[in-house]
Amino acid sequence: MSGSTTAPSGVSNLRLPTPTLDAESQSLLQSISAQGGYAYARMAALAVAGDQSAAEAARDMAWEQLHSGPWHSVLPVWRDAYSMACLHVAKFHFAAGEFVEALGALDMGLIMGGMLLRKDLHDSVVFVSSESRKKSLEGSGDSNGEKLVPEVPVDLNEVLKILPCRSLTCRRVEKRSSLSMEGFLRDYFQRDTPVVITNCMAHWPARTKWNNLDYLNAVAGNRTVPVEVGKNYLCTDWKQELVTFSKFLERIRTKKTSSAEPTYLAQHPLFDQINELRDDICIPDYCFVGGGELQSLNAWFGPAGTVTPLHHDPHHNILAQVVGKKYVRLYPSSLQDELYPYSETMLCNSSQVDLDNIDKTEFPKAMELEFMDCILEEGEMLYIPPKWWHYVRSLTMSFSVSFWWSNETDSSSS
């Protein structure tokens, strides 16, 4: 690719190649105009002619359309319009050598925009990141390779003080080393039984790379990611924010948010967004048991003290613990009534029972239930069968990846 040769002094000739945008612009603008977006189309044309403020105005107009009603009712053409405007804005920043701003605009396009220009957005991220890295290497000395999670064993007595009551007193989830596929299928998958698999991810590049702050900052520092702030998603003061990955790392490293209000990068398809991090992980072979399809890969990255409250999901799940440790408690799906799910459709897979502080009067049936639990250590994977209730609390700073997959019958009927 061309476009990054040295420019005459004071003039930049950094140019972002966007072949899909170039090919699709005209027909996309026609579709936008057909939806009444004449002002947007005018601004987009001015942006192409070199007017940065017009590019920003077009982006604001598309943003307004994205927020004009419920997400499912937003016309796909406006999501593509938003991506288009983000690409225009990114081009201006890139040309000015403003790489952080360029990446910010591209990430917003990836997070909020449509599918049409996704390849251009991804390729542009790679292009800008490589320029940005060249620049930062010019001025940097040796990295100190600071570890995110030091290798300090957790003190079980201390841990028990913060875990829900009765933790580690019932049945422990079985731990199996290098479990074979047959063993997994026969003893766990077909029996609807959780298991922790040990010695199964030493080959993942992530196991060495993700505990290194400099590495994470270098590959993702300038990228924008959605994070959750607050005790957990069931609390009223819970909110979502968009921040750069480096700001997020700084927050969790220096504990700038209180432990009552942790910042959690939770259930985010980070690996669709940041290809270099995707290259650091491997899809476990266990996810192909049952002949179904992989449904989603999500990142769960945060400080000690994040809590994912008791809930269940419809898919098979391997929760792979890359860095740090988590406590996980599991209840079988048969205990639906005893766990008092919310009645609202949006929350019907979440329990009203707060395991950290059970209200005995309101939820008496939840008190003496049998459960399974474990401390999921770095380098271990936990299999959670579909519909099993699970509660997860991080005991150290922690970075995990979940792999959800469906049964063959689910995939063929969907």
Q: Where does this chain bind ligand AKG (CB under 6 A)? A: 300, 308, 313, 317, 319, 390, 392, 400, 402
Rounded Cα–Cα distance for residues 339 and 206 (Å): 36
Give the nearer residue to ligand AKG in terms of CB position, either 50 or 314.
314
Give the nearer residue to ligand AKG in terms of CB position, either 82 or 286.
286
Rounded Cα–Cα distance for residues 344 and 346 (Å): 6
CB of 296 to ligand AKG, least distance (A): 10
CB of 230 to ligand AKG, least distance (A): 14
Give the nearer residue to ligand AKG in terms of CB position, either 204 or 300.
300
- Give the 3-state secondary structure of residue 4: coil
Say if residues 161 and 352 touch (Cβ distance below 8 Å).
no
CB of 319 to ligand AKG, least distance (A): 5
For 52, other C-beta atoms within 10 Å of its C-beta total: 16
Cite the DSSP H helix spans in 165-267: 181-184, 205-209, 213-220, 245-254
Q: How many CA atoms lie within 13 A of 239 on its CB side?
A: 4
Per-residue CA distances from 256 to 160, 226, 244, 246, 247 (Å): 25, 17, 15, 13, 10
CB of 25 to ligand AKG, least distance (A): 40
Cite the DSSP H helix spans in 35-173: 38-48, 52-66, 76-95, 99-112, 118-139, 156-162
Give the nearer residue to ligand AKG in terms of CB position, either 392 or 395.
392
Amino acid symbol at 403: F
Say if residues 227 and 265 touch (Cβ distance below 8 Å).
yes
Give the nearer residue to ligand AKG in terms of CB position, either 124 or 402.
402
Closest CA to 103 of 311, 247, 7, 204: 247
Give the nearer residue to ligand AKG in terms of CB position, either 20 or 295.
295
> Parallel, antiparallel, or unpaired for β 372-376 and 171-172?
parallel
CB of 147 to ligand AKG, least distance (A): 21
CB of 187 to ligand AKG, least distance (A): 21
Give the nearer residue to ligand AKG in terms of CB position, either 244 or 317.
317
CB of 403 to ligand AKG, least distance (A): 9
Give the nearer residue to ligand AKG in terms of CB position, either 184 or 391.
391
Amino acid symbol at 257: T
CB of 313 to ligand AKG, least distance (A): 5
The 8 Å CB, 24+ separation contacts for 175-179 are 175/374, 175/380
Give the nearer residue to ligand AKG in terms of CB position, either 80 or 313.
313
The 8 Å CB, 24+ separation contacts for 152-157 are 154/325, 154/375, 154/395, 154/396
- What tokens were used for 49? 């002619």
Q: Give the torsion through C-alpha atoms of 90, 91, 94, 100, to 10 deg.
A: 0
Q: Which helix (H) or strand (E) holds 297?
A: strand 294-302
CB of 102 to ligand AKG, least distance (A): 32
Give the nearer residue to ligand AKG in terms of CB position, either 104 or 324.
324
CB of 317 to ligand AKG, least distance (A): 5
